[in-house]
Amino acid sequence: MGMNKKTKTTKKVNLTSSNMSEERISELRKILPEAFSENKIDWEKLRKVLGDDVDSHIEKFGFTWSGKGDAIKNVLIPSKATLNPSKDESVNFDESENLFIEGDNLEVLKLLQKAYFEKVKTIYIDPPYNTGSDFVYKDDFKAPVKNYMEQTGQKDSDGNSLSTNKETNGRYHSDWLSMMYPRLKLSWNLLRDDGVIFVSIDDNEVHRLKMLLDEIFGEENFIANIVVQTNPRGRSLDKHFAKTFEYILVYGKDASNNSCIFEIPKNEKALSEYNKEDENGKFRLLELRNRNPVFTRKNRPNLYYPIFVNPDTGGVSLEKTKEFCEEALPLNSNNDEGCWTWSKDKFTKDNTLLFGKSVSTGAWRVYRKDYIPEDGATTKEKTLWVDSSLNHENGKEELALIFETSGTNVPFDFPKSVELIKKVIEVSTSSNENHIVLDFFAGSGTTAHAVLQQNVEDGGNRKFILVQLPELIGKISEEFDGKYKSIADISKDRIKRVLNGYGDNSNAIKDGFKVLKLSESNYPENTFEFDPEKTEQENQKSFEEYLTKAKQSKLIDDTDELSIVYENIVKEGFSLNSKVLEGKVGKNSVYTVTDGEQQLLICLDKSIDKKTVSELSSKDYEGNVFICFDNALDDTAKANLGLNVELKTI
């Protein structure tokens, strides 16, 4: 905004979120510089470099829909918006690392890309099911923040508003897929290598959603399709069958990573099976044979071999001797010639865990010792979830208890139960790590509730990030009418009530959450709207006139300083849980933002004193990023500071 000529040591502050298109092209340039010509990708050169890896066939398997091209472009368009802190709506803002972000989840996901890239362990979302009555976010990548303000009633406009996606709409499925694609793609970026996503859906879109997830995550990273009984009595309004189930599709960032999904503790009944003990601990006996009926000596020849048993000791060997004289052959579940579950190499390595014994028929069988792990016996979770605590009625009763009302007053028809999300958390996170759980269709806030409660139960230190559009709720019930303006308001209040304790859970939870709200950028450069009817030259002229009118003093006088600080936190890629301290450097007020070993200094004074410049030039601040107003420094001060810190100006 200032008119001073900048030195080479001065940079402009970051005005947008990650520009993924530029970043990817930059990465490609490093790997394949020969594929570029005149600073552009040369497709023919790229084809030659890739050789046989380019599929030139026109007909090939694929998944497409009307609007897919725009949905892909939408991922690459950086966000100019910001996240403003709302301390008065938060609980323990300065200490808590839980986040509740109010805003359009597409813009928010873009703003999270730098700070949370590959840091999220688990994502759970319950998106609109596209039943003909669910709304679909109407994304406008040309003016996303303005569009968001209009849709949520924060600004008056004759533009589009949130609406249901009627089946009569010719692009009924396409609109839903175009809404889901960029959000799922951006969420993929945020997952760790052992990260996993759970997506609740019903049978209206489950098959299309699976194809979408196959494309984004890769078919090889599909983990499970969990069937959840959410309505045991069935929905009476359904036409042919009374539906009782919904689905949860599960994908990993890398499904081959063993830490994607954790086994769960066995129940007491299962633990009673470990009724034998030796010097290595308690164990149970499992027959070594492979029970798959189709596995035979013909199709698994490497797993078919005789094991010889010592009838006196039960010891086993691969070689027949005078002591090891009884032969045991593998069988499958049909009692045909089958195969073992162990290879010869594993037998040689761990044969002390095996022993043989005779059964009633006189035949010899081989058994292995299965010890209880140090942290207790575990088992794989099943893909059929029918426990009554997981259904919608349980979720509704929980909300009624939290808000001290009746189930008929709860403003959610099919709220997810806390137990359902806790089950997701249990199989995908560890209580021993500070795992992050993300839900960007937060709804009533069940995921936050589940994280807090699971931490209480197992002593974990998980953190949640919730994103919810402040969708207006209108008149929904006598109990809620007038008390809450939006779904986001209900969700925030629910989290506060859970922290304070409710019903039988009357003990307060020592935690909290930060509230941040999606807002227009504080910088005039980001709020200018280009006119599509004008030429590029005309728009550029209008832009320059706009910046001249948008005086720097207006930004200083009209904007909360903490909002400017947080815009720089977001766009510099610092964690939203960075510690922010206001203090003095030299003679100026400076905000010091600390995120681990990273540090960011922000001064919003109109003028920076020479003593401040001198102090910032010392070794204590070497290499740090320092942000200030452009005309707060003269050219000499900029040059001196630029030798010691990374200077960026507003």
Burial classification of residue 493, based on how many CB atoms lie within 10 Å of its CB (0-12 exposed, 13-18 middle, 19 or more buried): middle
Q: Tens digit of pLDDT for each residue in 592-645?
A: 999 999 999 999 999 999 999 999 999 999 999 999 998 899 999 999 999 999
Q: Tens digit of pLDDT for each residue in 498-546?
A: 999 998 777 899 999 999 999 988 887 777 766 667 777 877 777 777 6
Contact in structure between 612 and 628 (CB atoms under 8 Å): no
pLDDT score of 254 more than 50: yes
Provide the b/e sequence for 159-173 (b: ≥16 CB within 10 Å). Answer: eeeeeebeeeeeeeb
Handedness of CA 8, 593, 595, 617 (dihedral sign): positive
Q: Model pTM?
A: 0.79
- Give the bridge partners for 198, in sequence order: 124, 250
Q: Which residues are within 8 A (CB) of 193 and not within 5 positions of it... i.e. 6 or more apart?
A: 118, 253, 254, 257
Contact in structure between 78 and 110 (CB atoms under 8 Å): yes
Helix, strand counts (H, E) of the chain: 20, 29
78-87, 372-381, 448-457: segment of lowest average pLDDT: 372-381
Other CB atoms within 10 Å distance of the CB of residue 388: 11
Q: Tens digit of pLDDT for each residue in 99-136?
A: 999 999 999 999 999 999 999 999 999 998 877 666 66
Other CB atoms within 10 Å distance of the CB of residue 144: 20
Distances (CA, A) of 412 to 415, 490, 491: 6, 11, 11
Q: Which class is 537-649 in CATH?
A: alpha beta
167-176, 230-239, 432-441, 514-523: segment of lowest average pLDDT: 167-176
Give the SS3 label for residue 278: strand
- Residue 23 is predicted with a pLDDT of 73
Residue 564 pLDDT grade (very low, low, confident, very high; cuts 50, 70, 90) = very high
The rounded distance, in Å, linking the Cα atoms of 286 and 157 is 69
97 Ramachandran zone, left/alpha/beta (phi>0; psi -120 to 50):
alpha
Domain-wise residue ranges, the chain: 19-56, 81-263+380-519, 268-371, 537-649
Q: What homologous superfamily does CATH list for 81-263+380-519? A: Vaccinia Virus protein VP39 (3.40.50.150)
